[in-house]
Structure 1
Amino acid sequence: MKKTLLFTYGFLILLTISTALISNLVAVSGLAVGLIMGLSMLKFFLVSFQFMELKKANSFWKGSLIFVLGVIVLVLISLK
């Protein structure tokens, strides 16, 4: 269990560094925004399912979290 948490934590750090690199190296474009939003979604899912133990929750809560996050990301991308 502890090994899985450490692996997830390390992966979150790697995703955060890659997000910072993308935002600094790539000019603001639709591709950069899409990549950053995709990485942010992945980080959100990792935190919620691994550290908040949503993986043990009812299917309704899992589905509603995925649906609401998808709507939020689609709205934010469409504003760009």
Structure 2
Amino acid sequence: MKKTLFITYGLLIVLTASTALISNSMSVSRLTIILIIGLSAVKFLLISFKFMELKKANAFWKVSLISVLGLIVLGIIL
């Protein structure tokens, strides 16, 4: 249990550093925005399922969280 939390935390740090590198190294374009939003969505899901223990919640909450996240990301990209 503790090992998976450290792995998740390390992955969150890598994703955050990747987001910072992408935002600093690339010019502002549609691809840059999609990459940053995608990485942020992955980080949101990691935090929700690992640290907020959503994986133990009812299936309704899992589906509704992923659906709302998908709608938000789709709305931002379009």
- TM-score under structure 2 length normalisation: 0.98
Match of 1:56 in 2: 56
SS at 2:28 equivalent: coil
Q: Structure 2 regions of 5+ residues with no counterpart?
A: none
CA distance in 1, matches of 2:20, 2:61: 31
Aligned alpha-carbon RMSD (Å): 0.5
Aligned structure 1 segments of 4 or more residues deviating by more than 6 angstroms: none
Residue 77 of structure 1 and its aligned partner are, at CA, apart by 1.3
CA distance in 1, matches of 2:11, 2:57: 23
Match of 1:43 in 2: 43
Residue 24 of structure 1 and its aligned partner are, at CA, apart by 0.4
Residue 10 of structure 1 and its aligned partner are, at CA, apart by 0.5
Q: Structure 1 regions of 5+ residues with no counterpart?
A: none
Aligned AA (1:65): L
CA distance in 2, matches of 1:8, 1:21: 20
SS at 2:27 equivalent: coil
CA distance in 2, matches of 1:16, 1:77: 20
Aligned AA (1:27): S
Residue 76 of structure 1 and its aligned partner are, at CA, apart by 1.1
Moved more, 46-55 or 67-76: 67-76
